[in-house]
Structure 1
Amino acid sequence: MAKAIWNDVILADSQQCEMVEGNYYFPPDSINKEYFKESSTRTNCFWKGEATYYTIEVNGQENKDAAWYYPTPKEKAQNIKNYVAFWKGVKVEK
C-alpha cells in the first residue's frame, strides 16, 4: 500500500498505484479530493502528453502545483489516465 502525505495529512492511499519514471501514480478514486484545487498550470511530456496540476491545501497552507495528472494521455501512457502523482515535499510511503 502506498500513501501520499503532506503536513501530516494523507492525501492519497492505494494498493493500485502505477509506477512511471520513479513516481507513484495514484488512482483518481484514492485521493482525498477535499485537499485538491485545480491549477491552471500545464506541462507537456513528449510521450505521456499534457499534464494538468493541482494545488494542495491542508490546514490553510498551500503547496502550489504539488500534484499532477494526465486527463488525455498519449497511447503509451493510457495506464495512468487521471492517476495522480506528487512532488514538492509530498512524501510517498510504501
Structure 2
Amino acid sequence: MKAIWNNRVIAESENTVIIENNHYFPPESINKDFFKSSDTHTACAWKGEASYYSIQVDGKENKDAAWYYPEVSELAKSIKGYVAFWRGVEVVK
C-alpha cells in the first residue's frame, strides 16, 4: 500500500493493518521528512487518544492529515504507533 499526497509517496508498506476501513501504516514506513507533529488530539472510545501529524510536501501543508495512537487500549494494540490518513491523502495498492 502507498499513501500519496501532492503527487508524492509519503508512506509505503506491505504490512498495513486495516481498522474501520483505514489502512494503518507501520511507523517505519512513513517518510518522516514530510511529517510535522501537531498539537491536535482526539479521543476514540475503544482505541485511546489519537495524536496528529500535518503533512508538508513541496511547500504545501495538509493540516492534521495523519493520525496515530502513541498509547492504545488492549483492543487496539495491533496499531500502536501506526499511522493512518485522511483529508485528501490517497491510499492505493
The two structures have a TM-score, normalised by structure 1, of 0.98
Query: Superposition pairs for residues 16-27 of structure 1, below 5 Å?
Result: 16-27=15-26
Please list the CA deviations of residues 16-51 of structure 1 after superposition, one character each: whole Å capped at 9, or x if unmatched.
000000000000000000000000000000000000
Unaligned runs of 5+ in 2: none
Amino acid at match of 1:77: A
Q: Distance in 2 between matches of 1:43 and 1:74?
A: 14
Moved over 2 A (4+): none
Q: Distance in 2 between matches of 1:73 and 1:38?
A: 18
Aligned to 1:74: 73
The two structures have a TM-score, normalised by structure 2, of 0.99
Q: Distance in 2 between matches of 1:90 and 1:73?
A: 24
Aligned to 2:35: 36
SS for the counterpart of 2:28 is helix
Count of aligned pairs between the two proteins: 93
Q: Distance in 1 between matches of 2:30 and 2:4?
A: 11
Q: Distance in 1 between matches of 2:81 and 2:33?
A: 17
Amino acid at match of 2:91: V
